Structure 1
Amino acid sequence: MGLTSYAVLVPAVAAAVLLFVATVWCWPRLAGPGVRPVGARVGLLLATQLALFLSVGLGANRAFGFYSDWSDLLGLENAPGVVAGRTEGGAGAAGPLQVLDAGRVKGVGGGSAAPAGGRVQRVDIAGRASRIASSAYVYLPPEYFQSRYRTRTFPVSVVLTGYPGTARALVDKLHYPRTARKLAETGRMQPMILVMLRPTVAPPRDTECVDVPGGPRTETFFAKDLPDAVAAHYRVAPRPVGWGIVGDSTGGYCALKLALHHPRVYAAGAGLSAYYEAPSDPTTGDLFQGDDALRDRADLRWYVDHMPAPDTSLLVTTSRHGEANYRDTLDFVARVRATHRTGVASIVLDSGGHNFNTWRREIPATLQWLSGRLAAR
């Protein structure tokens, strides 16, 4: 049972309610001095508080998709991070992308035989250059299956969560496929393939999409392995004209950095509530191993100031009240606009915190912006 499942949340809430009722019912019977009555009262209070804390935590985790299961929460999910024993080709070689299952897009209709709302596939991606493997969800618009589009390629947007995040939350909580479909139906964006995953591709470490010296080569995974795997499996537009990347929080930082560092891969990058340099904390460890040049390169403001302006387009979002990145975002926009090659746009809300509700308000305009900068062939 996953940590976002009702099978976990409902029993936890029921236990909290029952313990509260038991405490109220038994309290008069446990009145009085003595070690046993006092110990019983303390035990009931502690058990009720623990059950309440667990229920609130599980409810928040279900709402925001921080951790998918217990191994993810406890930092035990590390085995899938490195791919070993894969050959580069030939008979019997495993492909870089394997489809595990598929389902329809909820909320827009359509069934498995006639995907009127498009299809969402769960896939595994094996990085041959980075030797990193990650699961992802791929949204295919309904046009992808229609005969009149058989010779057409489709633009692609890579969509990243924050840290720790779960890829499924991009489908079920942030509603990227549903939003993309509704926008395409009303002519506000072109049909687009979405590749949705979290930036934590070497769990439990938060690698901030950096090629860590002697460690996970996360930037290589997103800049080479993932695009190569998707292009080998689906009818996608060529790079960079047909490729964009978007993310929130940590994923937003990654999206902006990948668009700046790899303009020959991504023609556009959007950062929702992004920050602009990689943090250093217990979740990241030492990402740069004392390499100041690598640290500078990962600082987006330093990169804009000191490196040749890449031919790419950027979008950033923030809120005047509720987001900690407001002033940093204004500063970043000013720096980018001082260049003569990189375009930058922004979405600035009056208020909105660092949460799913804020990002759901920004996603429709962000997808429209991406669609206007990507080309199908």
Structure 2
Amino acid sequence: MSLTGTPFFAAAIVLTAVAVLLPLLLWSRARGPAAVRVAIRASMVVFAQVTAIALVFTGVNREMDFYTSWGDLFGTDGYVTAAPDLGPDGLGGKKAEQVKAEPKVHQAFEAVDGVGGRVEQTELDGKVSGVKGDVLVWLPPQYDDPAFKDKEFPVVELIPGIPGTGKSWFQGLKAHEILEPLMKSGKVQPFILVSPRTMLLGNADTGCANIPGKVNADSWFSVDVRKMVTDNFRATDQARTWGVAGYSAGAYCAAKLAIAHPDRYSAAVSLSGYNDPGQEPSSLVAQDPRMRLAHNLKNVLKTAPKPPAVSLWMSGSEQDGYLSALDLKALAQSPTQVHAEKVPGGHNLDTWSKQLPQTFEWLSKAVKNP
């Protein structure tokens, strides 16, 4: 039975209703010694609490898509098929031109249940990263317009928080529903939106890093997913035509990918992010003090061979991203640009969703048309 399916949700509703009715019908009918009666009544109370919590979790998860399967929830799905040491550039000894020149892999796409619009999904077998996972793609309204039949489009890669799936940006934040009218009106340029699987090792946060022997998450996002897009859609691999955006743990990832790979991205949006990966309790990067320091965004920026030519939009409340943005802005040297935006609201989807018009108007200037 699917975790997000209607049958499971209906079963949760029925069990919760039963749990409410049981004490009403059986509370005074409990028989036996006092200890037995107390145990029976306590069991009914616990059963009611468990079913109520399960119903709330199921309802919220169906709406926000934090977990799309039982394997996601319990961390039993295998998305990492190999994790060799791919070197500092994540290409495994290849040159970017060699990866680009490899034969195109044409993917089969299908509509995504419960999302609507033009969101489609494919299962990508990452040849460089050794990651195999789902990738969601949304095409702007102009993509199939005959007037744009020869046009290539800029791309924004969308990274959710932990827990979260590719559907979180579309079903939780409603990104495509918010941005489509803005693209039609010309306030936001028409972007291809791409949201890859982020949870690759159960509920652990990979920090979008390459960790030899465990996972090559960086190469999954910045190499394999990018090539899939350019192989299958009218998009280029030029950094100036690519942006990346994320919220929470995904915000950290977005900023890090842009800073570390100015040859692949020109801009990043970080919503309620942070600089220190240790702020995410499940961070794999933070388990090693040296790796944690190396992957701190301030250190990533300071140790770059030269100031990366990227623009960063970093927003959040004072204790939820804004102070981190100010710290990074103080370190940035031209041509790196950091915009720090203090916003009201909490660490939640509603706060991030409300920022999409402003941040994508900014991306429309920071990311160039092919």
TM-score range, shorter chain: 0.7 to 0.9
Secondary structure of 2:317 counterpart:
strand
Q: What is the one-letter code of the residue matched to 1:7?
A: P
Distance in 2 between the 1:184 and 1:27 partners?
59
Indicate which of 315, 328, 331 corresponds to 2:327: 331
Deviations 1:285-338 (A, max 9, x none): 466767x3x544411112233433100100111024xx53343233223333xx
Q: Which residue of 2 aligns with 1:356?
A: 349
What's the offset of the Cα at 1:364?
Answer: 1.6
Secondary structure of 2:38 counterpart:
helix
Q: What is the one-letter code of the residue matched to 2:325?
A: T
Deviates most, 364-373 or 296-305:
296-305
What's the offset of the Cα at 1:95?
Answer: 5.5
1:1-377 aligned within 5 A: 1-30=1-30, 33-78=33-78, 80-82=79-81, 96=105, 98-102=107-111, 119-279=118-278, 283-285=282-284, 292=290, 294-307=291-304, 308-320=306-318, 323-336=319-332, 339-350=333-344, 352-377=345-370
Q: What is the one-letter code of the residue matched to 2:310?
A: T
Structure 1 segments unaligned to the other structure (5+ residues): 85-92, 108-116
What's the offset of the Cα at 1:133?
Answer: 1.7
Deviations 1:125-183 (A, max 9, x none): 22222121221111111221122212110000000111120211211121122222111
Deviations 1:4-26 (A, max 9, x none): 33432332133223222220232
Q: What is the one-letter code of the residue matched to 1:25?
A: L
Distance in 2 between the 1:324 and 1:32 partners?
55
Secondary structure of 2:327 counterpart:
helix
Distance in 1 between the 2:280 and 2:115 partners?
38
**Aligned 8 A contact 2:156 2:191 in 1:** yes
What's the offset of the Cα at 1:103?
Answer: 6.3
Q: Which residue of 2 aligns with 1:112?
A: none
Distance in 2 between the 1:346 and 1:286 partners?
25
TM-score (norm 2): 0.86
TM-score (norm 1): 0.84
Q: Which residue of 2 aligns with 1:110?
A: none
What's the offset of the Cα at 1:208?
Answer: 0.9
Deviates most, 256-265 or 128-137:
128-137
What's the offset of the Cα at 1:270?
Answer: 0.8
Q: Which residue of 1 aligns with 2:92?
A: none
Deviations 1:250-270 (A, max 9, x none): 111111001001011101011
**Aligned 8 A contact 2:278 2:292 in 1:** no
**Aligned 8 A contact 1:83 1:126 in 2:** no
Distance in 2 between the 1:242 and 1:227 partners?
11
Secondary structure of 1:152 counterpart:
coil
Secondary structure of 1:279 counterpart:
helix
Deviations 1:229-277 (A, max 9, x none): 2111111134111100001111111110010010111010111111112
**Aligned 8 A contact 1:132 1:202 in 2:** no
**Aligned 8 A contact 2:64 2:172 in 1:** yes
% identical equivalent positions? 29
Q: What is the one-letter code of the residue matched to 1:300?
A: L
Deviates most, 223-232 or 21-30:
21-30
- Structure with more helix by fraction: 2
Distance in 2 between the 1:231 and 1:341 partners?
27
**Aligned 8 A contact 1:213 1:289 in 2:** no
Q: What is the one-letter code of the residue matched to 1:19?
A: A
**Aligned 8 A contact 2:9 2:55 in 1:** yes
CA distance 1:44–1:94, change in 2 (3 Å): farther
Structure 2 segments unaligned to the other structure (5+ residues): 84-101
CA distance 1:29–1:248, change in 2 (3 Å): same
**Aligned 8 A contact 2:258 2:310 in 1:** yes
**Aligned 8 A contact 2:107 2:124 in 1:** yes
Q: Which residue of 2 aligns with 1:89?
A: none
Deviates most, 17-26 or 145-154:
17-26
Secondary structure of 1:276 counterpart:
coil
Q: What is the one-letter code of the residue matched to 2:337?
A: G
Q: Which residue of 1 aligns with 2:97?
A: none
CA distance 1:329–1:281, change in 2 (3 Å): closer
What's the offset of the Cα at 1:363?
Answer: 1.4
Distance in 1 between the 2:283 and 2:327 partners?
25
Distance in 2 between the 1:160 and 1:137 partners?
11
Q: How many residues align?
A: 353
**Aligned 8 A contact 1:129 1:225 in 2:** yes
Q: What is the one-letter code of the residue matched to 1:24?
A: L
**Aligned 8 A contact 1:105 1:120 in 2:** no
